[in-house]
């Protein structure tokens, strides 16, 4: 019995070490991994240190270690074309919101959506941009993981990155409406969380044609309000409970750059 238990523990350790090696290779490439195998083996001598509470390889911890030790370099001598591919097998609504947050947290702003594909395996978005730096993978992974999603894989191929994201325990870090709040700053849409019916006031300078979406706490769509005429204010009745709300304009983000006031009715 003891031998069987030890065998299972050894097998688990070997599997984790193999997964950890794969993770490192995906991040720095096989050539660099092979060249620095002795150093990397000493760095990751104890694979248990890089395991999450549920037994997975801790992607964020691995990325941070490789970045700190110089194995992941994020600067180029000049601006170069790059792509980032995000793939999800989880909730698309939360994924899209967090994807844009991750790009902003990595100082990636002037980008274009190269493709967006949905199939039976999930949803994939490819972003193309030009810059003299690569997006910080630690910040991107942290954005998703801080919201309860799992980044199961990160790969770098030359100047291009890819992220595989999943999970259904999402916690969006958005303003909570308690009484009244101001939503400001030029964005394509504004997010908040509210309980009870809300009153939305468009600030002076806006030309708001409402596109308002309401989601439950699992980011499942509850209702939408899409209007063609310009509005200065709008009331949204909500069922009992807490909900995520996005406020956008049907035609252009420039129409809502002055922001909104959102209050509970």
Which tens digits make up the pLDDT trace of 98-128?
898 899 899 888 889 999 898 777 889 999 9
Residue 171 maps to a domain:
no
- Verify that 45 and 81 share a domain, yes or no: no
Residue 131 maps to a domain:
yes
Tell whether the model's pLDDT for residue 2 goes beyond 60.
no
Residue 148 maps to a domain:
yes
- Verify that 52 and 117 share a domain, yes or no: no
How many structural domains does the chain have?
Answer: 3
Tell me, what DSSP letter sits at residue 39?
H
- Verify that 88 and 152 share a domain, yes or no: yes
Other beta carbons within 10 Å of 225 = 15
**Nearest CA-CA partner of 96 in 127, 121, 120:** 127
The residues, ordered by sequence, that sit 6+ positions from 98 with a Cβ below 8 Å of its Cβ are 143, 144, 147, 149, 165, 172
Least confident range from 46-50, 183-187, 222-226, 254-258: namely 183-187
Q: At what angle do helices 59-68 and 137-146 cross, to 10 degrees?
A: 160
- Verify that 40 and 101 share a domain, yes or no: no
pLDDT at 255: 95
pLDDT at 10: 31
Tell whether the model's pLDDT for residue 4 goes beyond 70.
no
pLDDT at 221: 82
Euclidean distance between CA atoms 229 and 180, whole angstroms: 25
pLDDT at 97: 84
pLDDT at 168: 65
At 6, the pLDDT band (50, 70, 90 cuts) reads very low
Average pLDDT over every residue of 156-171: 87
The beta-carbon contacts of 41-48 under 8 Å, at least 24 apart in sequence, are: 43/69, 44/17, 44/20, 47/13, 47/16, 47/17, 47/20, 48/13, 48/16
At 197, the pLDDT band (50, 70, 90 cuts) reads confident
Output the domain CATH number for residue 232.
2.60.290
Q: What's the whole-model pTM score? A: 0.71
- Verify that 92 and 152 share a domain, yes or no: yes
Tell whether the model's pLDDT for residue 171 goes beyond 90.
no
- Verify that 152 and 81 share a domain, yes or no: yes
Euclidean distance between CA atoms 201 and 99, whole angstroms: 27
| Structural domain of 126 | 75-166
Tell whether the model's pLDDT for residue 49 goes beyond 80.
yes
Average pLDDT over every residue of 196-215: 94
Tell whether the model's pLDDT for residue 163 goes beyond 90.
yes
Tell whether the model's pLDDT for residue 14 goes beyond 50.
no
Output the domain CATH number for residue 109.
3.30.70
Residue 200 maps to a domain:
yes
pLDDT at 11: 31
- Verify that 152 and 209 share a domain, yes or no: no
Tell whether the model's pLDDT for residue 90 goes beyond 80.
no
pLDDT at 187: 74
Tokens of 146: 């801080």
Q: Calculate the average pLDDT of the chain.
A: 87
């Amino acid at each position: 019995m003891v031998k069987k238990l030890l065998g299972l523990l050894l097998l688990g350790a070997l599997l984790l070490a193999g997964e950890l090696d794969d993770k490192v290779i995906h991040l720095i490439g096989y050539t660099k991994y092979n060249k620095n195998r002795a150093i990397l083996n000493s760095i990751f001598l104890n694979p248990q240190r890089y395991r999450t509470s549920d037994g997975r390889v801790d992607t964020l911890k691995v990325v941070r270690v490789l970045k700190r030790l110089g194995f992941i370099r994020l600067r180029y001598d000049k601006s170069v074309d790059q792509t980032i591919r995000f793939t999800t097998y989880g909730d698309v609504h939360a994924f899209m919101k967090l994807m844009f947050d991750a790009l902003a947290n990595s100082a990636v702003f002037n980008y274009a959506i190269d493709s967006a594909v949905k199939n039976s395996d999930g949803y994939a978005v490819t972003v193309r941009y030009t810059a003299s730096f690569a997006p910080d993978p630690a910040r991107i992974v942290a954005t998703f993981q801080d919201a309860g999603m799992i980044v199961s894989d990160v790969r770098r191929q030359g100047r291009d990155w890819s992220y595989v994201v999943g999970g259904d325990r999402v916690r969006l870090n958005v303003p909570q409406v308690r009484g009244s709040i101001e939503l400001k700053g030029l964005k394509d849409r504004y997010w908040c969380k509210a309980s009870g019916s809300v009153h939305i006031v468009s600030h002076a300078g806006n030309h708001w044609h409402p596109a308002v979406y309401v989601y439950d706490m699992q980011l499942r769509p509850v209702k939408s309000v899409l209007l063609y005429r310009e509005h200065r204010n709008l009331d949204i009745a909500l069922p009992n409970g807490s909900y995520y709300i996005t406020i956008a304009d049907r035609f252009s983000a420039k129409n809502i750059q002055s922001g909104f006031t959102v209050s509970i009715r």
